[in-house]
A and B are shown apart, each in its own frame.
Chain A
């Protein structure tokens, strides 16, 4: 039975800004992170993820709620409790690395130990060990400005793990690295976690990165938690339209449901051949992924290939369904030609109500903060 390492109970944070009035950056966040987990908080800018992380770190206080680390309360609005960051025993890696340019690699990594008055021999041993873990052995006396971005990120990582914290907070740590390096660092991070056994809370806006690295993810939008689950479940069974479109590419089709049959809007003659959901409304949104739509020769809705483009790693087809067009993606080797007739089949789609557009405006407003 895994222990709860980090817990938030009904945490809320309100900001009063001069230009935009009151903003509830984080609205009633409650979740638990288990020991040894890699837990991501994912969402667009303005969704509250960074504020949430800063509250866990202790850089922001709470308007309401409580935060617990390893069972001990560190922030509580009703008890007026606020443990400062230097006493929370966390490790943290920032987006811009925050590696101190006036200190060598060794001095950077040794800093947390020296603050804790660890004796010199022990400091040496533990710093060398941390540098080994992060592939920086031999670079002790180098200054950060002489190293690449990836190496600077590793310094930040080494500095964060040297005190053997139970919880590591990572604030968009990989977004300043180039794509190839990002992938390598992701893998190294997971290896490090496996070896040292700490819990990770990882904040990012990059959904593919979150999915690649996480055991469980929290998707947030406009200060509210949308869904918490494993990446596979979030991707395959998103709870609403926002989560669906935020994770990976989405294809949305407006459909009309009549007499137990599903029709594409604009074509009420030919049914789509997919079973309607149990609690169907007359109008709904059918949601699926462009590469989860099968183009077959024999079963499904009859249509034709309207356009075809070859992209770098897939072929993209545009196929009209009723008055709309759906995007379908296949590997290159499955080649249809423009104008070919074909049949389209939806494999296990999701269903959502028809949404309003005010959500978009609110999202845009929050991004200004």
Chain B
């Protein structure tokens, strides 16, 4: 029997010769790079929040924490996150149950619609909803006021509830994915035994099915909670005009208002501590909840899961589900494209007012083209570098297992729990000259932030892939005459290559459309695509901002299709 707990370090030690082997190089490199990329920015934030001119001082923290604006921002952050979590979970569970357990028609269509929110930056959705339901000039509001003779706008998206609505329409798939997967993999005999015991269909759902997927629901819900706490895009689009701030947008406001001065950044650092504390609390809750209950409910043989017949409710539920999905997913999308075509914002959206001039303008403006170029370069480099770095660290942690590998592991997943806003501040503090290297206003500083931000993604993908490569596969190569390096090259790398490729895209796509981090780091010539859309909107050029937004959407769809096509044609491993 193969003893899975033996030290695979022996594999490296066998290199016989005493000189520095491949393993030591990889280990040392991993430590150094992680220290520089991850630990340094984070330490800088902590330092500058608690130390002033070399002296420990809590003045800054106290000053910032006690301000009204801070308290109300924190309150908003928590309130929004909790509401998004509650409603997002309900919607997610509803759809998961419909698609995973009932005989509702159109499952394929609905599943396809679900993949769309994943692809688009929430801030574009916020933009679209703002165009529709803006308290003063939203298209839908004005149409409703005209049609029903109302004196004021019936809906206002620029409120806390508006933010909640838009955020949940992007986050509910987190719960959906987890729960539908749990439902599909659940052992059907768990429900069948309840029926034999005398329980009717409804009792089975209530007493058996739902409790058993509770862990999946909790894990999805907590993912929503943490994502919402750190979220920047939606509150920034919908909240600024009404003075509604969350902690991430407050931090941005503090820095932007001070014109990027050192004092402003210090204040941002202090607020970051607060934000991180809130996120840490949520993570702690996640650990506690997830630890206390994973049920082993996965079926062994492939058995068909029980399908519940909805009978009379089938068509009404289908209409309800489809309509909701269309509203949440397709309406904002359509809005962006329509406004991109309108001659001027505010004009009715009829073909007479359509023009391609907006597209013409953005493609000739140097700023736009440059921003697309910047985003491409950044995403490509971030994708490649992060993927390579993440894979190397994963290999060191899993296969080489040197002393201190748990430290390495912690360092690599730490950025996952740090909001993008906070990471940006740390990067500014670290790499704007105080440590000898000044990358401010260059693409490099954004790149470094991206690498730190997305490292945990590639670590996770590569770790999972490496786990699948059983040690005996490498050992077999060794016994066939391959040295350690050769077995890595011939066996391990080819086997994890598919995961590395998907790891690349897992970083490339979010990096292309992100705005949270680059909005704090951009300089006059280093705007990203997201930042450019933002700026156009800030300047009041709605149609052009929408046009660029639609370009971004098309770009993402194209890349996504390439990824899917690649996935289909790849040889099975």
Contacting pair B196 A100 (CB below 8 A): no
- Beyond A102-B212, A102-B295, whether A90 also contacts B196 by CB under 8 A is yes
B296 within 8 A of A: yes
Does residue A86 face the partner (Cβ distance < 8 Å to B)? Answer: yes
| Closest residue of B by beta carbon distance from A111 | B197
Which partner residue on chain B sits nearest A90 by CB separation? B196
Contacts A100-B190, A102-B212: A85 and B295 contacting too (C-beta < 8 A)? Answer: no
Q: B195's contact among A84, A89, A96, A116, by CB below 8 Å, is which?
A: A84
Tell whether B567 is near chain A: CB-to-CB under 8 Å.
no
Out of A89, A91, A101, A116, which one reaches B295, CB within 8 Å?
Answer: A101
Residue in chain B with minimal CB distance to A112:
B197
- Judge whether A98 and B190 touch: CB under 8 Å: yes
- Are the CB atoms of B196 and A57 closer together than 8 Å? yes
Q: Does A233 contact B (CB under 8 A)?
A: no
Chain B contacts with A in 195-239, Cβ cutoff 8 A: 195-200, 203, 207-208, 211-212, 214
CA distance A85 to B187 in the complex (A): 18
The answer to whether B152 has its CB under 8 Å from any CB of chain A is no
B273 in the interface (beta carbon within 8 A): no
CA distance A98 to B300 in the complex (A): 12
Assess the A145–B296 pair: CB atoms within 8 A.
yes
Name the interface residues of A79-97: CB closer than 8 Å to any CB of B: 84-92, 94-96
Q: Which residues of A contact B208 (CB under 8 A)?
A: 100
Q: B193 near A: Cβ within 8 Å?
A: yes
User: CA–CA, A87 to B201, complex, Å?
Assistant: 12
Asked if A2 is at the interface (CB within 8 A of a chain B CB), the reply is: no
Q: Please state if A115 and B203 are interface contacts (CB–CB under 8 Å).
A: yes
Complex-state Cα separation, A112 to B297, whole angstroms: 21
User: In A48-79, which residues have CB < 8 Å from any B CB?
Assistant: 57, 59
Which among B189, B199, B214, B296 is the interface contact of A94 at CB below 8 angstroms? B189
Instruction: Return chain B residues, CB-CB under 8 Å to A163.
Output: 197-198
Given A111-B194, A115-B197, A116-B198; A96-B295 close (CB under 8 Å): no
Q: Tell me, rounded to whole Å, the shortest Cβ–Cβ distance linking B127 to chain A.
A: 44
For residue B15, CB closer than 8 A to chain A, the reply is: no
CB-contact partner of B198 in A57, A95, A101, A115, under 8 A: A115
Assess the A98–B198 pair: CB atoms within 8 A: no
CB contacts under 8 Å to A, within B157-197, are 187, 189-190, 192-197
| B401 contacts the other chain (CB 8 A) | no
The listed residue with most A CB atoms (<10 A of its CB), out of B193, B194, B293, is B193
Q: Provide the bound-state CA to CA distance between A112 and B193, in Å.
A: 10
Asked if B299 is an interface residue, CB under 8 A from chain A, the answer is yes
Q: Is B300 a contact of A96 with CB atoms below 8 Å?
A: yes
Q: Please tell me if A13 contacts chain B, counting CB pairs below 8 Å.
A: no
Most buried by A among B193, B196, B200, B299: B196
- Bound-complex Cα distance A145 to B199 (A): 23
Q: Is A159 an interface position by the 8 A CB rule?
A: yes
User: Is there an interface contact between B197 and A98, defined as CB atoms closer than 8 Å?
Assistant: no
A299 to B195, CA, bound (A): 63
| Residues of A near any B CB (own CB < 8 A) | 57, 59, 84-92, 94-96, 98, 100-102, 111-112, 115-116, 145, 156, 159-160, 163
Interface residues of B (CB under 8 A from A): 187, 189-190, 192-200, 203, 207-208, 211-212, 214, 293, 295-297, 299-300
List the 3 closest A-B pairs by CB distance, nearest first.
Answer: A112-B197, A98-B189, A98-B193
Interface contacts beyond A84-B195, A95-B189, A115-B198: sample of 12 additional A-B pairs, CB < 8 Å, sorted by A:
A57-B196, A86-B197, A92-B192, A96-B187, A98-B190, A100-B208, A102-B295, A111-B194, A111-B207, A112-B198, A115-B199, A145-B296
